[in-house]
């Protein structure tokens, strides 16, 4: 009965939430004048001129001594406002589920343990009412990622705008995701020794056996197609990345050594709650990290309560390439908070431009799309946002403009409608 009530409430909400019409393609030159441009690579232009044409950044430079003709362009005065590259959200189930209580609506978790052939992109729902809420906070691109099993499946990159998944698709089948076996540890012990009772080694052996079988298949001349093994071909060829999800020190080291022993060059560590403990090891092995959301409690009772907040600074100082995700409880609804996790890292050691890189250029580098995304540079996609204040600050973030490849987005959604509704209500009560 409780589930039926929840389902009814959600369905009623969605019935009153009209899917937004995707933005039309850019058909006119766009000029953004006078904004404080945060390039995404650590640089800042205090008084910028940005010209967008045919979905690309045509010009970005200091506007102080430039005369421009705006007669044939769509002109925006953004003096005093902040311009950023669109934020990138890796490792997310956004668009793969809306009602967690209903199994039939959850498309991120497939039946079975080894599912490299399962492609998340075909389940991505462009009409999800949650997607517009993340755009309002500047999150414009995401890596849509399956969950569950040992090998969850294959992710793809999408833009958070489009009529259907083919329209939203940015990079198809970019990576296979593997969940490294969990190791058990005591929440109270001070030496952090991990005891798995033999299960860890058994599951690790299963993974190694599958990869060995896949490698043999790829190197054989057998004409018979095995969909699961065929999906692994790109991993061994280096055209598809391997994202290994691991948490603890033992899991992290085991995952890295596993990938190294297989001579896999394109692998990424995901989650990595204990990455700060082995930062030098990760730097030495040049392992990129998608760091689990910073807004969380520590795994162990004896750890500092703010250890997660400090981890970004520790990885930066060690020379580890990292970016931030938002995996965990309420990850789809909470994904709009991605920029604020980056902002939290500023309070714990990063400067603002370093924090910005963790959700822009660093993410683009790890996802191997930095030639077209992640920074405000000539020739890159015109995927960017304009904020009235600091976009990493929950109090001053106010995105007024957003573009995906030059397409101007509608930033309204059900939440903004409710905000305006109850703001009027509050104002009416105040005047009584």
The answer to whether residues 405 and 334 belong to one domain is no
Domain coverage including residue 108: 88-373
My answer on whether 94 and 59 are in the same domain is no
Pair (364, 385) in one structural domain: no
Domain termination residue (choose one: 336, 356, 373) = 373
Residue 138 included in any domain: yes
Same domain for 400 and 381, yes or no, is: yes
Does 32 share its domain with 174? no
pTM of the model: 0.91
Asked if residue 6 belongs to a domain, the reply is no
Give a yes or no: residue 185 inside a domain: yes
Domain for residue 8, yes or no?
A: no
Q: Is residue 413 a part of any domain in this protein? A: yes
- What is the three-class DSSP state of 239? coil
Q: Is there a single domain that holds both residue 308 and residue 196?
A: yes
Q: Which residues contact 178 (CB under 8 A, 6 or more apart)?
A: 150, 151, 152, 207, 242, 243, 244, 245
* pLDDT of res. 14: 46
Distances (CA, A) of 345 to 153, 224, 320: 31, 51, 15
Is residue 332 located within the same domain as residue 394? no
Instruction: Map 139-186 to HEC letters.
Output: EEEEEECCECCCEEEEEEEEECCCCCHHHHEEEEEEEEEEECCCCCEC
Q: Do 249 and 184 belong to one domain?
A: yes
* 233 in a structural domain: yes
Alpha-carbon gap, residue 246 to 58, rounded angstroms? 41
Name the helix (H) or strand (E) containing 333: helix 331-334
Using the 3D structure, point to which of 322, 347, 373 is the last residue of a domain. Answer: 373
57/151 same-domain check = no
The pLDDT assigned to 276 comes to 97
276 and 255 inside one domain: yes
Instruction: Check: CB of residue 424 under 8 Å from CB of residue 48.
Output: no
Residue finishing a domain among 373, 390, 409: 373
Number of domains in the chain: 2
134 lies in a domain? yes
Q: If you count them, how many residues does the chain have? A: 432
The CATH number assigned to the domain holding 121 equals 3.20.20.140
* CATH code for position 408: 2.30.40.10
Same domain flag for 291 and 420: no
Give CA–CA dist 255/275, Å, rounded: 12
10, part of any domain: no
Is there a single domain that holds both residue 349 and residue 420? Answer: no
- What are the DSSP calls for 60-95, one per residue? EEE-TT-----TTEEEEE-TT-EEEEPEEEEEE-TT
Per-residue pLDDT of the chain (432 residues), as tens digits, is 555 544 444 445 444 455 678 988 899 999 999 999 999 999 999 999 999 999 999 999 999 878 877 788 899 999 999 999 999 999 999 999 877 766 767 778 888 899 999 999 999 999 998 999 999 999 999 999 999 999 999 999 999 999 999 999 999 999 999 999 998 754 444 455 555 557 889 999 999 999 999 999 999 987 789 999 999 999 999 999 999 999 999 999 999 999 999 999 899 999 999 999 999 999 999 999 999 999 998 988 889 999 999 999 999 999 999 999 999 888 888 999 999 999 999 999 999 999 999 999 999 999 999 999 999 999 999 999 999 999 999 999 999 999 999 999 998 887 787 877 888 777 776 666
């Amino acid at each position: 009965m409780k589930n039926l009530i929840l389902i009814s409430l959600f369905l009623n909400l969605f019935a009153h939430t009209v899917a937004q019409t995707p933005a039309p393609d850019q058909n006119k030159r766009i000029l953004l004048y006078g904004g404080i441009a945060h390039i995404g690579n650590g640089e800042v232009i205090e008084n910028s001129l940005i010209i967008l044409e045919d979905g690309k950044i045509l010009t970005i430079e200091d506007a102080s001594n430039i005369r421009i003709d705006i007669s044939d362009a769509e002109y925006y005065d953004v003096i005093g406002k902040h311009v950023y590259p669109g934020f990138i959200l890796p490792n997310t189930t956004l668009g793969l589920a809306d009602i967690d209580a209903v199994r039939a609506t959850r498309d991120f978790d497939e039946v079975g343990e080894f599912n490299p052939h399962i492609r998340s992109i075909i389940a991505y729902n462009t009409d999800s009412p949650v997607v517009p809420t993340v755009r309002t906070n500047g999150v414009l691109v995401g890596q849509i990622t399956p969950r569950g099993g040992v090998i969850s499946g294959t992710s793809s990159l999408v833009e958070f705008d489009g009529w259907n998944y083919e329209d939203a698709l940015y990079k198809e089948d970019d990576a296979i995701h593997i969940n490294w076996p969990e190791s058990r540890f005591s929440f109270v012990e001070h030496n952090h020794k991990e005891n798995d009772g033999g299960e860890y080694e058994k599951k690790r052996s299963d993974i190694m056996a599958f990869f060995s079988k896949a490698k043999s298949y790829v190197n054989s001349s057998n004409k018979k197609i095995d969909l699961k093994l065929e999906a692994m071909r790109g991993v061994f060829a280096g055209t598809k990345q391997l994202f290994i999800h691991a948490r603890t020190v033992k899991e992290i080291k085991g995952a890295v050594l596993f990938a190294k022993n297989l001579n896999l060059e394109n692998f990424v560590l995901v989650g990595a709650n204990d990455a700060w403990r082995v930062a030098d090891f990760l730097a030495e092995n040049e392992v990129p990290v998608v760091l689990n959301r910073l807004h969380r409690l520590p795994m162990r009772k004896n750890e500092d309560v703010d250890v997660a907040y400090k981890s970004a600074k520790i990885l930066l100082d060690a020379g580890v390439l990292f970016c931030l995700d938002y995996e965990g409880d309420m990850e789809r609804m909470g994904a709009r908070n991605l920029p604020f996790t980056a902002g939290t890292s500023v309070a714990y050691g990063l400067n603002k431009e370093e924090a910005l890189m963790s959700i822009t250029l660093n993410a683009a580098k790890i996802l191997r799309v930095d030639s077209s995304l992640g920074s405000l540079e000539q020739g890159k996609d015109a995927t960017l946002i304009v904020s009235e204040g600091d976009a990493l600050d929950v109090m001053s973030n106010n995105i007024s403009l957003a573009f995906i490849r030059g397409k101007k987005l509608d930033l309204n959604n059900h939440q903004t409608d409710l905000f305006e509704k109850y703001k009027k209500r509050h104002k009416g009560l105040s005047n009584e």
